[in-house]
Amino acid sequence: MTDFTPPAPPRVVIVGGGLAGLATAVSLVGLDLDITLIESRPRLGGRASSFPDPSTGELVDNCQHVSMTCCTNLTDFCRRVGTANLFRRDPVLRFLSPEGKLSEMKPSPLPAPFHLAGSFLGANYLTLFERLRVAFGLACLRFATKPTLEPFAQWLKRHGQTDRTIERYWGTVLISALNERLENLDISHARKVFFDGFLRNRYGYQMELPLVPLGELYGSRLETWLQSRGVKLRMTTGAKSVELGADGTVTGLTLRNGERLDAEFVVLAVPFDRVASMLPEGAIAQLPSLEHLDEFRSSPITGVHLWFDRDICPWPHVVTVGRLVQWVFNHTELQGRRATGETGQYLQIVISASYDLLSKDNASIKDAVLKDLAEIWPAVNEANLVHWRVVTEHGATFAVRPGIDAIRPPQRTPIDGLILAGDWTDTGWPATMEGAVRSGYKAAEAILADVDRAEVLIKPDLPETRLARLLLGPPLP
């Protein structure tokens, strides 16, 4: 009798510790695979991460990240790793008009898609005539189902929208949701936000806000979870190049320090502008789905962190209409974090698609935000600003510009063993955490299919009512 040596499990190397790479690793755990995840930075989470503030020592998020109930795969990801209880679901969205009037978006007993109709009719930052214009625009959007290169701002003008309705309604919702100006925005993504996010299911619009810093939520907790399940983590480790064998299939990955990691699968869960540099010479010619990589663009987000010696904002979060400041998050209420000891308030301000701020220094940005906030809450003028910090992510998301979906590559490539992941790949979603997780799940599905263990990992969208399907039409593919 001879000893039987079982075959070694397939080796998977995941490059990138953002949500796409993390979702790939998490969904492959426990399936008899040898998994290594490498990350060039000393922490996991990618753009959804935190850093220790040099002055206070506490964790500061790069920028506020929130989820919505319609993000079913992000919810599944958090459930898998045991962090689903670290979110606060808020059924109310608050909008503050330039005149200081508060409107609340919350559901009525009516079925979807009419569950938010009462809140819309009560939106005091629009006149009655403007609300009718917006309703007409939403009705027209129902039939905007064909791909087009027309920017959404131009489409809105063609469908009866005024400068005020564009600024106060369409821009208020979409710039924050999609991190892009309306004049650069793809229509299908605007349609997805309103229809799939707000109207198809009565709970889909509800926000889920983290109760802990992102560095804990997607960093330290994930690190512990993965390592306890056998995933090898290589932090502060840079990838240089994917290695291919004589037959053109993946054989491993070379690191920047010259070390080689043998692998049957390499998942490049990196931003779009890093992919080409990680491929060996000539490989890009074998990947027609990547021939448009140079057409992708990034959109910036600016986060302004303000620690005051007194309470300023009376709500956990609020959208400010028609201002430089787009969203205010009260971390004192959400996470119990104060400016000094037991007093003060810590606010995080979010400014999406912050192109106009890229040429400004941080002090100028802080001063402009304080001026804006003082017009909302005069107490700012009397408060002492204990500490502040401005963080601008120049490449926060890929820009969802007209026609972008036609050039987003699938996760599987023609090179055996080479898989892509990232919110910029073909997920059917815009540049969101949900899109990143979906890409990771799809990357894992491709690997499992290749090792004869095919499994569907993508979770279905929230159910829609028959009335919503009739009035809104099916979701776009």
Render pLDDT for 351-395 as a digit per residue (tens, 0 to 9): 999 999 999 999 999 999 999 999 999 999 999 999 999 999 999
User: What is the distance in angstroms between the CA of the first residue and the CA of the last residue of the chain?
Assistant: 57
Mean pLDDT within 74-89: 97
Q: Does the pLDDT of residue 5 top 80, yes or no?
A: no
pLDDT band at 3 (very low <50, low <70, confident <90, very high): low
Work out the angle between the directed axes of helices 433-450 and 72-81 (0-180°, nearest 10): 70
Render pLDDT for 19-55 as a digit per residue (tens, 0 to 9): 999 999 999 999 999 999 999 999 999 999 999 988 8
- Provide the H-helix boundaries in 115-170: 117-121, 128-141, 152-158, 163-165
Instruction: Give pLDDT, residue 318.
Output: 98
Any idea how long the chain is? 477
Instruction: Give pLDDT, residue 18.
Output: 97
H or E segment at 241? Answer: strand 239-244
Q: Does the pLDDT of residue 2 top 70, yes or no?
A: no
Who contacts 184 (Cβ-Cβ below 8 Å, separation ≥6)?
Answer: 151, 399, 401, 402
Q: Does the pLDDT of residue 342 top 90, yes or no?
A: no
Instruction: Give pLDDT, residue 248.
Output: 92
> Domains (ranges, CATH) in the chain?
11-51+213-296+401-450 (3.50.50.60), 92-205 (1.10.3110), 298-398 (3.90.660.10)
Report the 10 Å Cβ neighbour count for 284: 14
Q: Does the pLDDT of residue 164 top 60, yes or no?
A: yes
Instruction: Give pLDDT, residue 459.
Output: 97
Mean pLDDT within 196-200: 95
